[in-house]
Amino acid sequence: MNVPTPEQVEAMMTEKMGALPQFLNSAKAIDPRFLIEQAMSSKFSMQDEKNPFDPKTSMMLALATSITLGSDECVMEQTKMLKKMGITKEELAYLVKIVKHAHSSAVMGNSKMAFDTFES
């Protein structure tokens, strides 16, 4: 397997996204190999030929995760890419509604111990 150089990864990401995300610029300043790691992670997940999801669905899953984790820069970049992929307002709205539901369900699930402890 040919591993790209940090410069090749930066060029590919810049072509795809218009610019290298700031968090990757910061990481690159510490160790340029972070760019390779980021690219390889994408290659083995979202871009994998065995990925059962189409690219738009994969990006929607990534956006949902970024929203949940609170990564503003990832949310912005993924939303830009999804716009290019043709996401509609309705799809974005439902993505957020599903994330909101999952998050509130997780809060309720995480509250089980408090509820059970109070009742014991």
Per residue in 65-85, pLDDT (tens digit) is 999 999 999 999 999 999 999
Check: CB of residue 66 under 8 Å from CB of residue 78: yes
CATH topology of domain 54-120: AhpD-like (1.20.1290)
pTM for the predicted model, two decimal places:
0.81
**Domains of the chain by residue range:** 1-44, 54-120
- For the chain, first and last CA: distance in Å? 58
pLDDT at 19: 87
Per residue in 15-67, pLDDT (tens digit) is 888 888 888 989 999 999 999 999 898 888 888 999 999 999 999 999 999 99
pLDDT at 1: 63
